[in-house]
Structure 1
């Protein structure tokens, strides 16, 4: 690639340049906090060198006695070189947060596999194919975090006024497809203030109880049947959701699925710190989490299937070989039509209204939908 091809397409106005620089500065601060990366090059891009004990070299250091660059020097020198040449392709703070969220979600998912339901050795296994299901309004009727909040309110952790606020924020997001920064900040702060200092085991226990009381009866049988078909084909089945990973893993466990990718809250010594790892898992973060789990599990994404109700999940849907819209919003229904994706609507009294090809062809399996749903839902 030529140097010219990497130049910006247009000259930034002073205001645009200032905003861009502020965003990159925020990204670097976040990267330093998460990865302990030291962005300490001077304004001219000169690299800071250290001796073998980690002390920085000063201007009066006797280079004749210097024993060469440390590994950290080489790392920072390469990082500085890449940063200077990447220019406008540097990750923004939002992109970095979603990358961190995706990586944290995949890492938590892999760690949870120690509790995976034992595989039936008599069943043939398809090791390179998997299915990824969004949760809210795809698998669960409604927003799982709102249902979880209802359970917390019934235990006096939250007020029902808080639930109304959660529901309103969810409704606005689903209608507009865009997050209001103030809404997100308020919702995130409320949730993080609730868990800060609590034992991680407490959230898991609450998730188990609240699933039984508020979520189990909200599972869409049609979506459960699709998940069961993948299981019957010997494939892994993962949930991918913005819901806290502890609740997502509870849902996955109760339904006999492989595991769950969800939002990860930071914890130290078994207690929540009140901070997220990266950010809430959504949009590009979901795609990154799926890609990461595919690498770790040896999956072929071209042989994988993803399901969602929302156009916000198009990055994840576009990542796999087969995308399926479930109870699609208006934008996703149109995208599915244009791209030839299969679509189901379980919100009607009719059987799944199909806008695309037969699911038996997509999955490479056959079987009664009602029977498949029954097998999965019996695990609740």
Structure 2
């Protein structure tokens, strides 16, 4: 039987890991919000000298936030990106399978700090040394090839209703921010919050800023962007398919479950949240298992999708 001292050490260790995870989530959220804010306002300045906040009809304090994987898009966006990279011989199909298997193991066994660190290091070993411009160029091509026809029309219509009401709309996803911004632009949305990888002079260093934008990090990103944009979160709406996004759904005034997994459906019913399902019965059955990977495949699929490995070192 462990001593009292031993139990105290374990308890403090868990508390320390929890604090570290919370700090990484906050850092990831801040970095993502800053990237989204800078991209939005830089684009506004390039396209129209009129300040964004003076746009006629704009509702300045309300906005909408949409998860991507299995909410806005069928399947995992970064997995589609990975398929495109594999087709271009950036890595092998075996690599893709290995990343997916590692992520399933990570999800099932829990978010152990050491395992999470290993997963991050493996993910970013692929992107290190590659240019941001190259990733963006590839993302544009692969969106057209493999993602454009995966968008759920019903979810996109929800987003457009917010735009028609003068509200801004952001995607919120663990997908790399560069890819998330491409998807947002192609859909005519305001912008995107995504996982931020550090770069120096336009070249990726192989380090994440904080953490993957997942779970509590998404909530942190939404709060941080709201502070920058002057949004009233009580007037904002969030949409997701996954129970992992309950933290994000809980920080806004209106939460909506879209194509929900079983756990989120239960939460939505208990909390009287709206529920929309745009899948056919057949698609819903197919997506049921990938949803465990989908919004949850964030870490490993960032490895497969965001990262590209040199075939020759």
Describe how 1:188-267 pairs up with structure 2 within 5 A: 188-267=120-199
CA distance in 2, matches of 1:339, 1:236: 25
TM-score with structure 1 setting the length: 0.66
1:317-371: CA deviation from partner (whole Å, max 9, x where unpaired) = 0100000000101110000001100001111269x9xxxxxxxxxxxxxxxxxxx
Higher helix share: 2
Q: Does 2:212 match 1:284?
A: no
Partner of 1:296: 228
Residue number in structure 2 paired with 1:115: 43
* 2:73 pairs with 1:140: yes
* Cα separation, 2, equivalents of 1:205 and 1:346: 31
Q: How does 1:1-380 map to 2 (within 5 A)?
A: 13-22=4-13, 92-113=19-40, 114-116=42-44, 124-168=57-101, 178-179=110-111, 184-185=116-117, 187-348=119-280
* Most deviating of 157-166 and 105-114: 157-166
Ranges in structure 2 where 5+ consecutive residues have no aligned partner: 285-313
Q: What is the rounded CA distance, in whole Å, between the counterparts of 1:212 and 1:328 in structure 2?
A: 26
Distance 2:155 2:103 in 1: 21
CA–CA separation in structure 2 for the residues paired with 1:142 and 1:249: 18
Distance in 2 between residues matched to 1:19 and 1:120, nearest whole Å: 51
Partners in 1 of 2:13 and 2:105 — Cα distance?
A: 28
**C-alpha contact (below 8 Å) 1:146/1:166 kept by paired residues:** no
Rg larger in structure:
1
The answer to whether the 8 A contact 1:134-1:309 is kept is yes
Shift of 1:22: 4.6
Compute the displacement of 1:193 (Å): 1.2
Residue 15 of structure 1, CA deviation: 3.0
Distance 1:254-1:247 versus aligned 2 partners, 3 A rule:
same
| TM-score for both structures, normalised by structure 2 | 0.80
Q: Contact conserved, 2:30 with 2:220, CA < 8 A, in 1? A: yes
Task: Count residues in correspondence.
Answer: 275
